[in-house]
Amino acid sequence: MAREITPDQEIWVMTKEAAEITGYNHEYMEILGKKNFRLPENERLIKIRKRSGRFYELWLPDLLRYIDEIGYGPHKNK
């Protein structure tokens, strides 16, 4: 998975796309979106916006930074 993104690749992704890109579980991305959306905007670790009532979009650069810093989820075999 490429962690390098250029400014023209800074995009919003739905939680299903985020799961495919990161290798995380789709349900985990939904929970991550829901938890971050409940926080005040200035406290969010990832920019989130809600679409169609229950779907969340995550800002890809923030998501990749979060994964690098937190490190939960899929790990390479040692």
Total count of domains within the chain:
1
Q: Are 32 and 48 in contact (CB under 8 A)?
A: no
Residue 57 inside a domain? The answer is yes
Residue 46 inside a domain? The answer is yes
Residue 36: closest CA among 5, 52, 12, 57: 57
Residue 77 inside a domain? The answer is no
- Residue 55's SS3 state is strand
Phi, psi of 73 (to 5 degrees): 105, -155
Give the confidence band of 2 by pLDDT, cuts at 50, 70, 90.
Answer: very low
Residue 22 inside a domain? The answer is yes
- Domain ranges, residue 58: 7-70
| Confidence at residue 51, expressed as pLDDT on a 0 to 100 scale | 86
Residue 64 inside a domain? The answer is yes
| Confidence at residue 11, expressed as pLDDT on a 0 to 100 scale | 87
- Give mean pLDDT, residues 19-44: 91
Tell me the whole-structure pTM to 2 decimals. Answer: 0.74
Residue 76 inside a domain? The answer is no
Residue 63 inside a domain? The answer is yes
